[in-house]
Amino acid sequence: MDIQEYSEVERLKAEVILLSSQMATNILEIGQRLTDIREKVKHGDWDAWVETNLPFSKRWANQYIRAYKEFGNSSSHLPAKKMFLLLDLPEEQREPFIQQPHELPSGETKTINEMSTREIQAEIKARKEAEKKTKELERQLADLQNRPEPEPRIIEREVIPPEAQRQISEAKATANQLNKVSDENKRLKLELEALKSNSIDDRLSMEAKVSTFTGRIKEFIRQMSPLGYLGQEVMRTSPKAQKDYENSIKALEKWCQDMRDAMIRPKENKIIEAEVIQ
C-alpha cells in the first residue's frame, strides 16, 4: 500500500483499538472500520496484519466485520454477546427473532432484551433441532415414496415345515409393521404439509409449546417417581383409599390415551378433559 493508504490504515487501527476497550455497543463501528481496513490491506496479508496490529484474534476480527454487515442497518441495539449469538441464525429469521416474544420451557414469555444469553442459546438450539427434524422427516418420506414395490411371489402348495412356518409368521409381523410405518408416513406427510403452509415463526412457536409441554410432563414424572412404592403398599389401606388410587391411575391412563388420539387425529379438534379425582 502507498504512504497515504498506510496512514489511513494506521488511523483506523488506532480507532479500532480504542473502540474495542469501550462498551459493546461500539462493535458495529469496529466492524465498519475493520471492513475498510481489509479492503485496503494487500490481498493475502489480512491474517498477518490482524495478528501483528490488533489486540484480538482473526476470528474476532471477522466476527466484528460479520456483525457490521449483518446488523449495520438494523434498528435493534443489542449487547455484544447477544448480537454474536444471533449470527448463528439465518438472515431471514434474525429480525423476527429479535422482534417477537419467546415462550420459554419454564412457561415464561420474554423479549430478547429480557432473555439471558443462555436462554437465547437454548432457543436457537431448539430452532435448529426443529429444522433438522423436519428435514429428516422429509428425507424419510422421500425414501419411502421412492422405494420400489416388492414383486409378488408365487408359492406352490406344499407341506410347510416348522422353521418355514416361523419365517412366514415373522414375515407377516414385518408386513404389519410396514403397514404401521406406512400409516405413520401418511401422518408425517400431513404434518409436513401443515408445517409448510404455516410461517416459520408459527411453526417454531408451536415447537416451543410442545417443548414446554414435554418439559412439564418430565417434571411431573420426576416429582411422582419417589411415590412408586405406593403400588405395593396400597393394599394395606382402606377400600376407599384403594378405590381412589385405582380411579386416579385410570384417569391418568385415559388422559394419556386422549392425548395420543388427539395427536393422531388432529382434524377432530378434540378437547382433552382431565377428570379431577377428589
Phi, psi of 45 (to 5 degrees): -100, 0
Residues 6 or more apart whose Cβ sits within 8 Å of residue 235: 242
Per-residue pLDDT at 277: 43
Cell 400409516 belongs to residue: 183
* The CA-based dihedral angle spanning residues 172, 176, 178, 184, taken in that order and rounded to the nearest 10 degrees: 180
Query: Tell me: the pLDDT tens digits for 99-156?
Result: 788 888 888 888 877 888 888 888 888 888 888 888 888 888 888 778 776 666 655 5
Q: How far apart are CA 162 and CA 50, in angstroms?
A: 77
Q: How far apart are CA 258 and CA 272, in angstroms?
A: 6
pLDDT tens by residue, the chain, 278 residues: 677 777 888 888 887 766 654 455 577 788 889 999 999 888 888 999 999 998 888 888 888 888 888 776 664 566 667 777 777 777 777 778 877 888 888 888 888 778 888 888 888 888 888 888 888 888 888 887 787 766 666 555 556 667 666 666 766 776 677 677 667 767 777 776 666 665 566 666 777 777 888 888 888 787 777 666 666 676 777 888 777 778 888 888 888 888 888 777 655 554 455 444 44
131 to each of 90, 128, 200, 211, how far by Cα in Å?
Answer: 12, 5, 10, 14
Neighbour tally for 33: CB within 10 Å: 21
Q: Please tell me whether the overall predicted TM-score, pTM, comes out greater than 0.85 for this model.
A: no
At position 47, the amino acid (one-letter code) is D
Per-residue pLDDT at 48: 92
**Burial degree of 272 (CB within 10 A; 0-12, 13-18, 19+):** exposed
Tell me 72's DSSP state: T
- Per the CB < 8 A criterion, the answer to whether 63 and 84 are in contact is yes
**Which residues, listed in sequence order, are joined to residue 110 by a DSSP beta bridge?**
102
* Of 245, 275, 243, 232, the residue nearest 257 (C-alpha): 275
Q: How far apart are CA 69 and CA 32, in angstroms?
A: 8
Q: How far apart are CA 268 and CA 258, in angstroms?
A: 12
* Of 63, 24, 56, 58, the residue nearest 41 (C-alpha): 58
Q: How far apart are CA 33 and CA 54, in angstroms?
A: 12
**Burial degree of 185 (CB within 10 A; 0-12, 13-18, 19+):** middle
Q: How far apart are CA 236 and CA 10, in angstroms?
A: 86
